[in-house]
Amino acid sequence: MATRASRVLRRVAWGTGAAVGTPILASVGYAQYLRTTTPEDEISESHNIHNATFQTSIWYQSITNLLMTLFGQISRRRLDASCENAAEENERLLLSVLKRCKDTSYGIAHNFSSIQSREDFRRKHPLTNHDHYSSYIDQIVHLNEHDEPPNNIMFPEKPRMIAQTSGTSGTAKLIPVSPLQRKVFFLEGIGVAFDTMVRGVPTSSHGLIQSWPNLQKSCKLMFTPKYSYTVNGLKVGPNSSTPGDNKSLLKLYSTPPDAYEVETEPELLFLHALYALLDRNLGLIESNFILGVFNMFSCMDRHWDDLVETVRSGKFPKDLDIPDQVRTKLECELVPNPKRAEELAGIRISHGDKKDSHKSFARRIWPKLHTIMANETGSFHLCGRRVREKWTGDDITIFSPLYGATEGLIGVNTDINGTSFSLCPKSMFFEFLPVEESDEPDERLLAEKTLFLEELQEGKEYEMIITNLTGLYRYRFGDIIRCVGYRGQSPIVEIAYRRGQFLNAQGERTSEETLYRALAKTANESWGFQLKDYTAVEYFLKQNGSDHRPRYTVYLELE
């Protein structure tokens, strides 16, 4: 009897081991196949170091990218389906949010249980701004450590954190973040962005299933922010990705995990630049905004000699202000590479030779760099132009993947070369005010004039009103968009400007985009210069009896 039982147990154990082991063996086989069939110049050089850590990184990157490719295809199909019936999907999302939050402090106060349709919602709930939520946010932030968890105030769950908006497109504000928001951002946004990049990147690799260079690492310009905390332990700070979010993903990046222990941004930026330069086969540079990429290239310009010497010697500059233990760990793994240092020094010299300028600086450094993934839309357009003019040229794609904010995911870019975004009907509920009506001082009159997402006209500009997953309802967060088309019933939009972000000396409402285009054209065609940067103010002061009609004072930086 015991022998029979032991045989059964062995069979169960063997079956369990096979069930677990077979996928692992298959994944190892896939990674090895991909390694042997991918051209050498499409494999990041750190993968070629023959030790267990780096061989594991090949397996991890190949499997991660395989799964993300499949997931991206699913996400794209979900987007297409939801956009086809965007009006219905968006209303369904709204009603699910109201049902989920009807028993919260805010939901009870605003009688969510009585709202049965999007028309009901538009009629019964006012338009809001951040001040409208101050008392609720104060309740969450100022609960002391002995109070109950701050859930069921703006949404049912305990907030994951208190996000502080960056202030890049307005004044910084505090917004509680629901755990649901990150899930939706990934499901509805990241997957589609990955799929767009896979479709848009040309390749010569021959791996199974995948058709793009998936063994090239990315220089991910990511930093560890300094957080503060509420008395009840909630983290307060930016809601962007950080190195600590998923340490396994650090294997995908050119910057080694130990470098992320450096907490000062200038020093970590130096390290990002260094490890990117070390990898001749780098495939991707990532940053939330193109300004981060601009800062990295500027760092390279300022510290070029130090960077090249570090590549040559394997030793950091003595004045690089990083913790001793981090310096020791990094230098133990940093292999001197005189050949790469010589190549980089030659690139710098030849790039300054006007006779040999057919390739951009970035293309010389990284011949297989296929994408810079960083948002350059809206107010970041000028910065994107500077990156192209000075470092990347037009042969390296700058991909603006997502239209997002602290408030949540808004839209996705399905064209790697495009600058417009398809709104995501499953990420938040959208309403729109025509810009010519958005300055109406009586918001009660405005409240019922909003349009739903299927009602926009191509070519017209609208103020976007959002209802999101973090407890903001009919929220005027300030973005003005331009409808440039439709994907099914869902608008495709461009970011025009921020509400209030225009010159208005005599009611003419000159947007930043209009002013920029006029200045750039004048500088180039009339003066023979390139516009490098500018700022402008409305000017009303009277001076010595001179003409004091309202006007603009514009300060230009030209080259």
Question: In terms of domains, do 145 and 236 share one?
Answer: no
* Domain annotation covers residue 462: yes
SS3 per-residue string spanning 198-223: HHHCCCCCCCCCCCCCCECCEEECCC
Residue at 87: amino acid letter? A
Instruction: Look up residue 104 and give its DSSP letter.
Output: S
- pLDDT over 50 (residue 72): yes
Of 379, 399, 419, which residue is a domain's last?
Answer: 399
Question: In terms of domains, do 136 and 216 share one?
Answer: no
Q: pLDDT value at position 48?
A: 59
More confident residue, 1 or 534: 534
Q: Which residues span the domain enclosing 161?
A: 88-179+403-498
Question: In terms of domains, do 384 and 510 share one?
Answer: no
The per-residue DSSP string of 42-58 comes to: GB-GGGGS-SHHHHHHH
- Three-class DSSP category at 229: strand
Question: In terms of domains, do 460 and 342 share one?
Answer: no
Question: In terms of domains, do 243 and 358 share one?
Answer: yes
237 phi, psi to nearest 5 deg:
165, -165
- pLDDT over 50 (residue 341): yes
Of 498, 524, 544, which residue is a domain's last?
Answer: 498
User: What tens digit of pLDDT does each residue of 75-92 get?
Assistant: 999 999 999 999 999 999
* Domain annotation covers residue 24: no
Question: In terms of domains, do 294 and 369 share one?
Answer: yes
Question: In terms of domains, do 310 and 395 share one?
Answer: yes
- pLDDT over 80 (residue 438): no
Question: In terms of domains, do 455 and 528 share one?
Answer: no
Q: pLDDT value at position 509?
A: 60
What are the residues facing 39 on neighbouring strands?
A: none
Q: pLDDT value at position 503?
A: 63
Of 355, 375, 399, which residue is a domain's last?
Answer: 399
**What's the number of domains the chain is made of?**
3
Question: In terms of domains, do 232 and 376 share one?
Answer: yes
Question: In terms of domains, do 127 and 142 share one?
Answer: yes
Question: In terms of domains, do 453 and 551 share one?
Answer: no
CA distance 106 to 112: 9
* Domain annotation covers residue 421: yes
* Domain annotation covers residue 4: no
- pLDDT over 50 (residue 492): yes
The pTM is what? 0.84
* Domain annotation covers residue 12: no
* Domain annotation covers residue 436: yes
Question: In terms of domains, do 216 and 299 share one?
Answer: yes
